[in-house]
Chain A
Amino acid sequence: GIQVEQSPPDLILQEGANSTLRCNFSDSVNNLQWFHQNPWGQLINLFYIPSGTKQNGRLSATTVATERYSLLYISSSQTTDSGVYFCAVTGGYQKVTFGTGTKLQVIP
């Protein structure tokens, strides 16, 4: 199956700092999504981004499908950004595979 690797595994930021999270995948994919899992365990859809660049407020994402990676940018981080960020890719038969996540802690 498709392998999905995320880096870094852990990240601690001072409030107001910027960060870049990376997702590498091992094969061609149909779709790619970024999720945020908040401290209460809820999985929140951030971006559906099989290719190109999208922005939503302080967050933006870029996927370069031909090079098999995606980046999630967080600017001016806030404590509410804390949690785990997952990349998930969709392969054949719409099978969705997750990376192991990046745990982000934003400190005041």
Chain B
Amino acid sequence: DAGITQSPRHKVTETGTPVTLRCHQTENHRYMYWYRQDPGHGLRLIHYSYGVKDTDKGEVSDGYSVSRSKTEDFLLTLESATSSQTSVYFCASGANTEAFFGQGTRLTVV
């Protein structure tokens, strides 16, 4: 299995607080992705990166920002968490072929 780890795995936070989720990969993959999964919506792309410091928005990017200062790390930040951002977040990485996923982070905003 590809070495992709997400941290934390579970988090409960209060509305209005900032939250950062971390994705770390040991595969030297060029591409990295953040998705959220909600019932009835499958996996929706939030942001993705096609290289260090190169990122772009996905279909549900409002309220989220990302940073990639090193090949192995891709950070997802919720500047001011809202209840609508309660979800399961998945990170993925890949080269020019397959993408591989982390275990997911369950975020609850109360």
Contact = CB atoms under 8 A, between A and B. Distances in A.
Contacts of A96: 33, 45, 48, 92, 94, 99
Contact of B99 (A33, A41, A101): A33
Contact of A43 (B40, B56, B58, B101): B101
A33 B96 contact: no
Contacts of B58: 95
A88 interface: yes
B99 A88 contact: yes
Contacts of A95: 45, 48, 56, 58
B88 interface: yes
B105 to A, nearest CB: 11
Interface string B52-96: 000010110000000000000000000000000000101010101
A98 interface: yes
Q: Majority SS of interface residues in chain A?
A: strand
Contacts, number: 55
A42 B42 contact: no
A98 B35 contact: yes
B80 to A, nearest CB: 27
B88 A97 contact: no
B103 interface: yes
A93 B40 CA distance: 27
Contacts of A88: 43, 99
Contacts of A101: 42
A86 B99 contact: no
10 contacts: A33-B98, A41-B104, A42-B103, A42-B104, A88-B99, A95-B48, A98-B42, A98-B45, A99-B42, A100-B42
Given A30-B96, A43-B101, A48-B98, 8 more contacts: A33-B98, A48-B97, A86-B43, A94-B31, A96-B33, A96-B92, A96-B99, A100-B40
